Amino acid sequence: MLANLKMELKTEENDFIPYQKAVILQGILMEQVREEYAAKLHVTGLHPYSQSITNLNGRNIWNICTANEEAFQEIMLPFQEERFSDFYMEDDKWKVSVVQKQLFKIEKKEFMEQYYFENSDRYIQVSFQTPTAFKSQGEYVCMPTLQLIYQSLMKKYDAASDDETVESGEVLEQLLEYSRIVQYQLRSSSYSVHGKRIPAFMGQMKIKVSGPQAMVNFLNLLFHFGEYTGIGIKTAMGMGAVKLIEGRKG
């Protein structure tokens, strides 16, 4: 099951909560989950969830996404309980109220069918809504390439799935051969994690996929999955939140 919980947050003074605060919110999130699960996440280093802060028409939206059944049970259920209605952010001395909760969930099977058996769009338009970065050969990369994006998406898809593996060098090569960036607007940005500044980027990108329809569907599937997992590094700390912009079917 894939799930997305949107919580509208309000401080007493109606403060704007910048995306950077997701680093703090990860702490709030971890306080809600059972110790055993927190320890498991820590040991495996896998993150079958992502969370970020975005701002929508002046409202602070805390997005939490889970990408498999276990994460849903362990993370989403505690947040859905009524008692989770406010919390305190110490650094800023903010008393934060959760004024609205909205949960969207979809069975993985149903999610897959949407892309495998339909004619997905050949144009994929991605908006990188919070700073996004990759690590390659030990260094941060603040300028995206399709290779880094696809590798990250496949890795995250596999990490969230018990039953299947999609990551393969061969598939990657094919995806790269048949797709290219046709439009973009990107700028470098950065994200601070515990005092360390990570070079990153934000913006939009439109990709055209020219291969067989099955490949178009697969890439759409990966990117839509990426809306739950994020793209790149530190997606559990608020980086790499992506949203697909739906265009005309093409």
Contacts of residue 170, Cβ cutoff 8 Å, sequence gap at least 6: none
Can you tell me the distance from the alpha carbon of 128 to that of 10, in angstroms, rounded to the nearest whole number? 24
**Angle subtended at Cα 164 by Cα 250 and Cα 210, rounded to the nearest 5 degrees:** 20
What is the closest distance, in whole angstroms, from the C-beta atom of residue 199 to a copy of itself in the complex? 7
Q: How far is CA 223 from the centre of its chain?
A: 10
What is the closest distance, in whole angstroms, from the C-beta atom of residue 178 to a copy of itself in the complex? 13
Burial 138-177 (b: 16+ CB within 10 A, else e): eeebbebebebbbbbbbebbebbeeeeebeeeeebeebee
Per-residue contact track with a copy of itself, 153 to 182, x per CB under 8 A?
A: ---------------------------xxx
Does 183 help bind a copy of itself (rule: CB under 8 A)?
A: yes
Q: Which of 153, 245, 171, 157 is nearest to 211 (CA)?
A: 171
Half-sphere exposure for 122 (CA within 13 Å, toward CB):
11
What is the closest distance, in whole angstroms, from the C-beta atom of residue 76 to a copy of itself in the complex? 37
Which is closer to a copy of itself, CB of 145 or CB of 168? Answer: 145
Q: Are 172 and 151 in contact (CB under 8 A)?
A: yes
Query: How far apart, in Å, do the first and last CA atoms of the chain sit?
Result: 29
Contact with a copy of itself (CB under 8 A): which of 61, 112, 186, 244?
A: 186
Within residues 198-237, the interface with a copy of itself by CB under 8 A covers 199, 201
Within residues 96-155, the interface with a copy of itself by CB under 8 A covers 139, 142-143
Does 188 help bind a copy of itself (rule: CB under 8 A)?
A: yes
What is the closest distance, in whole angstroms, from the C-beta atom of residue 187 to a copy of itself in the complex? 4
Which is closer to a copy of itself, CB of 134 or CB of 225? Answer: 134
Contact with a copy of itself (CB under 8 A): which of 187, 194, 196, 248?
A: 187
Which is closer to a copy of itself, CB of 29 or CB of 202? Answer: 202
Q: What are the residues binding a copy of itself (CB under 8 A)?
A: 139, 142-143, 180-188, 199, 201
